[in-house]
A and B are shown apart, each in its own frame.
Chain A
Amino acid sequence: MGLLSLAIWTPIAFGVLLLALGRDDQVQAVRWIALIGAVVSLLVTLPLYTQFNVSTAAMQFVENAPWIDRFNINYHLGVDGISVWFILLTAFINVIVVIAGWEVITSRVNQYMAAFLILSGFMIGVFSALDGLLFYVFFEATLIPMYLIIGVWGGPNKIYAAFKFFLYTLMGSLLMLIALIYLFNASGGSFDLLTWHKLPLGQTAQSLLFFAFLAAFAVKVPMWPVHTWLPDVHVEAPTGGSAVLAAIMLKLGAYGFLRFSMPIAPDASHEWAGLMIGLSLAAVIYVGFVTMVQKDMKKLVAYSSVAHMGFVTLGFFIFNDLGVAGGIVQMISHGFVSAAMFLGIGVLYDRVHSREIASYGGVVNTMPKFTAFALLFAMANCGLPGTAGFVGEWMVILGAVKVNFWIGMAAASALIFGAAYTLWMFKRVYLGPVTNDHVKHLKDINGREFFYLALLAIAVLYMGLYPKPFTDVMDVSVAELLKHVAQSKLN
């Protein structure tokens, strides 16, 4: 069994084990098994980084075995510089989420933990699949655990949110399925992604494929104007669900652009780049305004996710190495920062059971340790230099200026909005005198909460201060991707 297979199936095996364990009378054992499962799953992904060869753009750790002969579908796995970090990120966030749900979840603990473990296995599968159909199977399969996580452990309006999440994203993916089958037929019977990358296609076909992929990935990212499901879902999802959704699931869509849309339909990507840049800027600027007026903390962070993901898609579709690499860095940093933001809100929610900004005020007086963390994450969210949030945004802006000054200018304005909504929220929640009674009785974070927030803080600072390990890994692959996208595939 290869490393990638281990990375995919270890968490799934632990998840199935937890489901088999059953009832709530063994809660403590269930939690420990879940934690062991998550940690083991993280450990098996580490060799992917340490043994990664940064000097080649070829796929590494490749596994290829026939899976469904009838349609020539292969169990084909492999990673390059673009995808390898996401596998580690997924396994890392999974550990954090298991710890974060430790005491918070009290009913059906085994199912909760199992859902997250299985979900992380599926998501690693998405990042490592090199077969179109294998990708699709993992991509869709993630919906099932997430649907249950939102619906079972979510907030008051969870059912609406769960359905909206499932049906909205399913609609996009079904159109992608049509595109995959079209490519299968057009390539003479192959689902192999690398074959598709070389397949010559006409302009119309490319455009149609591009939009079919766009339907799936834009909903997932989510891009403006199909982002409306995200705030609703984030608000209702349990803390862990929000963290995974923001940190990893949104990246599945952005990753899809790099693996499918751009290399398979390069001419269409260039043709419609203007549209994509427009939508990205709308996400950055318009959603930035929308974010400012939110009264609900989770909704605020959800909208700010849309804005940050706008940077990612903007970086991709300006087609230079700074932009694309910046977009990927932004994806990773947003993985850490958004998870941290949502977990921070979760810490407050567990104590007060309110997400309204107005229910708080002066939290720093009773929770100084927590406020220190919150400040760091808030700074990272608005892209302060020295934190993870800065690196990606700065690279994207730099790349955009190279292409067109005004695009760079517009994107840069987002830094101001980001600072405005994040700092304003921070001020209202944490600073000033204590305005609400229940804030007086808040207890500061315990050791468990300190531990996982500290892990995230280290990640955020490390990535901000020394991003080289991240960028080094992807440089060659990004260059290769851009070289490929620059060549026309019209025949």
Chain B
Amino acid sequence: MIDKLSLIAVYPEILLLVMACVIALFDLSVQSRTRTATYLVTMLTLAVVAALQASYATSGQTMYAFGNMVVSDAMGNWLKCFATLAVMVTLVYGRSYAADRDMLRGGGELFVLSLFSLLGMFVMISGNNFLVIYMGVELLTLSSYALVALRRDDTLSIEAAMKYFVLGALASGFLLYGMSMLYGATGSLNLQEVFKAISAGQIKHQVLVFGLVFLIAGLAFKLGVVPFHMWIPDVYQGAPTAITLMIGGAPKLAAFAVFIRLLVEGLLPLAVDWQQMLMVLAVASLAIGNLAAIAQTNIKRMLAFSTISHMGFVLIGMMSGVVNGHAEAAGNAYSSSMFYVVSYVLTTLASFGVVLLLSRNGYESEEISDFAGLNQRSPFYAGIMAVCLFSLAGIPPMIGFYAKLAVLQALMASGGALHIGLAVFAVMMSLIGAFYYLRVVKVMYFDSPVKAGEITAPFEVRAVLSLNGALLLVLGLVPGGLMALCANAVMQMLAS
């Protein structure tokens, strides 16, 4: 039944959908090479959507709509708000890059596909039903495949798109298979119903775990954690940098939300099982992500491996919620993960922003050596990049440190010697991580520039990038607000 209340819960999604279609049509009338008009309308739409999400989030209401198929709660609305902002920032950074590479000549697909992928993220975040979540995942990934292939004359991009598509389809298969197993066992697609059915304890455990394994594998694929990480480095490197940011930024927020929805809201009674699986994934991601990143000379590839290791940290927070069958620590643990994801996305945006800034027409700034002597060419951008790298390395007073602190605190609060051992392992891995981040700082500050010349950028890019960089530092000095926001959002989600 579709009543008025149901529609209120999804107003932002409806607005986004309508505007995406309108912009697709409107773009046909735009002639300019840089598609400024399309760009402006897109940004305006996104700004309205972000504001709408923020107002929903601050109202703190939890609404279920369309027969409990979607949910609008504070956690989801904040994540949607952040995802919208992330897409806006991505478009600001990426537009001139895309225009320089003829990605906008044929049409404004970049904007329309971005809007649709954002819609996919919204559906993923709001989904309260296996199939709705699956639909969101597919909408996001299908738009992403097309985005990666947007530079259709570039062999690297096409190769990346093919790889992404084939592996992504496989992962979707896993996900769907796991969902159907659980549906078969519990008899419902609705997360709350599944939760109740499993809690009742009547269903055979093995069947549930069998479905769970596939579900986790599918999710791990989307999040990009070892051993399901193969596509990440290739796609990050092969995709045009603006698109890399589109894939590596906002979707992480959605992937986190799906983890929460499926594993916490749906399958919390199976926590003992999935926590073990996540632990293995986390350990492998931390080890492989950090070790493989050392060997990279391409900065996009290096950041890809670093992403893998950071997702390992996110999983550590996710696996610390339930202790001996009690979920008192759940709010603390899951909010630490959420804080980690949000701060990670913020840092990724700024670091790719600098990479995009240094790329010129016909020249990619992809090798780490391209950053040589950046400090002499532009102390300001070198400073922003250094803040990003120190934040990723987890050195205070950058925000990345508090993210690691929150996750490690949750981990150590959740158990005995094993978890303390895991915490020691995690910090040792981030020590290895510090090495390759420092190497980029070294190249920027200690080496002499190979290329001279001023770095020019449109005003809006400079303004947003400065703001982005400043935010990393300011949130590092006063992280309390964002931490509290994540904590409240997760607590509300758990309480409902």
Contacts and interface: CB of A to CB of B under 8 A. Distances in A.
B423 A70 contact: no
A19 B479 contact: no
B362 interface: no
A167 B435 contact: yes
A151 B375 CA distance: 13
A184 B479 CA distance: 18
Given A22-B379, A141-B395, A147-B438, A162 B409 contact: no
A22 B375 CA distance: 11
B337 to A, nearest CB: 14
B379 A143 contact: no
A68 B409 contact: no
6 contacts: A137-B397, A141-B397, A144-B390, A163-B442, A174-B430, A177-B427
B408 A181 contact: yes
A185 interface: yes
Interface residue tally on A, bucketed by range: 35 or more
Interface in A17-33: 19, 22
**4 closest residue pairs by CB, A with B:** A174-B427, A137-B396, A68-B480, A70-B483
Contacts of B376: 108
Interface string B410-446: 0011000000100110011011001100100110011
Interface in B233-250: none
Contacts of B442: 151, 159, 162-163
A59 interface: no
A166 B479 CA distance: 25
B112 to A, nearest CB: 40
Interface in A146-172: 147-148, 151-152, 158-159, 162-163, 166-167, 170-171
Given A69-B480, A177-B405, 7 more contacts: A71-B406, A158-B446, A162-B446, A163-B438, A174-B427, A175-B424, A185-B413
B438 A166 contact: yes
B446 A159 contact: yes
B171 interface: no
Interface of A: 19, 22, 66-71, 108, 111, 133, 136-137, 140-141, 143-144, 147-148, 151-152, 158-159, 162-163, 166-167, 170-171, 174-175, 177-178, 181-182, 184-185
Contacts of A152: 375, 445-446
A133 B104 CA distance: 49
Contacts of A175: 424, 427
Contact of A133 (B405, B434, B483): B405
A170 B401 CA distance: 13
Contacts of B479: 68
B487 interface: yes
A121 to B, nearest CB: 11
Given A152-B445, A181-B412, A171 B431 contact: yes
Given A140-B395, A140-B396, A71 B409 contact: yes
B383 interface: yes
Contact of B423 (A68, A69, A108, A178): A178
Given A159-B446, A162-B442, A167-B434, A136 B427 contact: no
B402 interface: yes
A358 to B, nearest CB: 29
Contacts of A66: 480
Contacts of B405: 71, 133, 177, 181
B484 interface: yes
Contacts of A170: 395, 431, 434
A185 B409 contact: yes
Interface string B253-296: 00000000000000000000000000000000000000000000
B428 A174 contact: yes
Of B408, B420, B430, B442, most A-chain CB atoms within 10 Å: B442
Given A22-B379, A70-B483, A182 B390 contact: no
Contacts of A67: 478, 480
